[in-house]
Amino acid sequence: MPIKPPVRAQAPLATPAPPMPTGAPPTPPAAASALAEMALRLPVPDRALHDRLIVIGASTGGTEALRAVLASLPAQMPPILVVQHMPEMFTASFAKRLDGLCALTVKEAAHAERARPGTVYIAPGHSHLLVRRVPGGFQCELSAADPVNRHRPSVDVLFHAAAREVGRQCLGVMLTGMGKDGALGMLAMREAGAYNICQDQQSCVVWGMPREATLNGAANEVASLGEIAGRLIATLRGS
């Protein structure tokens, strides 16, 4: 079955880009914002807390984008695994800072750690972060394998693992970032049945990674930074 285009088209690029296939009409921004705000006030079903997993990739501009998304989410969420391109001396303090700003618990991921609802796991700057399915849920795995796309941790590594281990129970988010890390992994996720959201050009600091994932067909929808938390909750409620 061919991959459908995202539900919102991006603004035209300054340089030529492959044409996007036509699909459902864009959601009006005002309506999307209203839906996002409504979704944030509604609880996530209990079954989704244990059956689903969220993975997020980010790079340039991602520290503030992650703060905006994670601080808008309630404490009752499925486990969230995050790769933010960042040197290893900063990831632990970054996780601690987010933990103080969010209703969710935020921590640096540890090897073989059970991924629990209500918790965000930040990839340490020295290792790839992967996910593995275990009885009753999911587990974080760390790897010191070679960099992928010149990055360790790499978004592609996490997203490919999510495609293999989680499949249709996964939600993927691609936030602002330079380059293309994660685009192929996000496409593998969509082909495995996951639902993916890419940040739009207008709200990105650098529309690189989300652009690549949008153009290759990996995105189910494109949303502004302020809409992403609401869209995650709405998608979980509809699952």
Tokens representing 74 are 């309630």
Q: How confident is the model at residue 22 (pLDDT cuts 50, 70, 90)?
A: very low
In this predicted model, what pLDDT tens digit does every residue of 39-69 receive, in sequence order? Answer: 556 677 777 788 999 999 999 999 999 999 9
Catalytic residue among 72, 85, 154, 200: 85
CB 9 within 8 A of CB 21: no
Query: Would 20 be classed as within a structural domain?
Result: no
Query: Would 34 be classed as within a structural domain?
Result: no
CB 106 within 8 A of CB 178: no
Query: Would 29 be classed as within a structural domain?
Result: no
* Mean pLDDT (whole number) for 179-192: 98
In 3D space, the residue among 131, 105, 134 whose CA is nearest the CA of residue 120 turns out to be 105
Query: Would 21 be classed as within a structural domain?
Result: no
- CATH number for the domain harbouring residue 158: 3.40.50.180
Query: Would 6 be classed as within a structural domain?
Result: no
Beta-carbon contacts of 174 under 8 Å, excluding residues fewer than 6 positions away, are 56, 57, 58, 155, 182, 183, 186, 196, 197, 198, 199, 209, 210, 213, 218, 219
Q: In this predicted structure, which of 26-35, 77-86, 87-96 has the lowest mean pLDDT?
A: 26-35
Catalytic residue among 72, 154, 156, 181: 181
Active site includes 59? yes
Q: Report the number of distinct structural domains present in the chain.
A: 1
Query: Would 141 be classed as within a structural domain?
Result: yes
Active site includes 99? no
Query: Would 31 be classed as within a structural domain?
Result: no
Query: Would 142 be classed as within a structural domain?
Result: yes
- Alpha carbon distance 190, 167 (integer Å): 8
Tell me what pLDDT residue 4 has.
57
- Supply the range of the domain harboring residue 157: 44-237
Active site includes 181? yes
pLDDT at 32 over 50: no
SS3 134: strand
* 170-174 and 119-122 strand pairing: unpaired
Exposed e or buried b per residue across 55-93, where buried means at least 16 C-beta atoms within 10 angstroms of its C-beta: bbbbbbbbbebbeebbebbbebbbbbbbbbbbeeeebee
* Mean pLDDT (whole number) for 132-147: 97
In this predicted model, what pLDDT tens digit does every residue of 194-209 receive, in sequence order? Answer: 999 999 999 999 999 9
CB 12 within 8 A of CB 202: no
Concatenated DSSP letters of 137-193: EEEEEEE-PPPBTTBSS-HHHHHHHHHHHTGGGEEEEE-SBSS-TTHHHHHHHHHTT
Tokens representing 148 are 């992928």
pLDDT at 225 over 50: yes
Tell me what pLDDT residue 9 has.
43
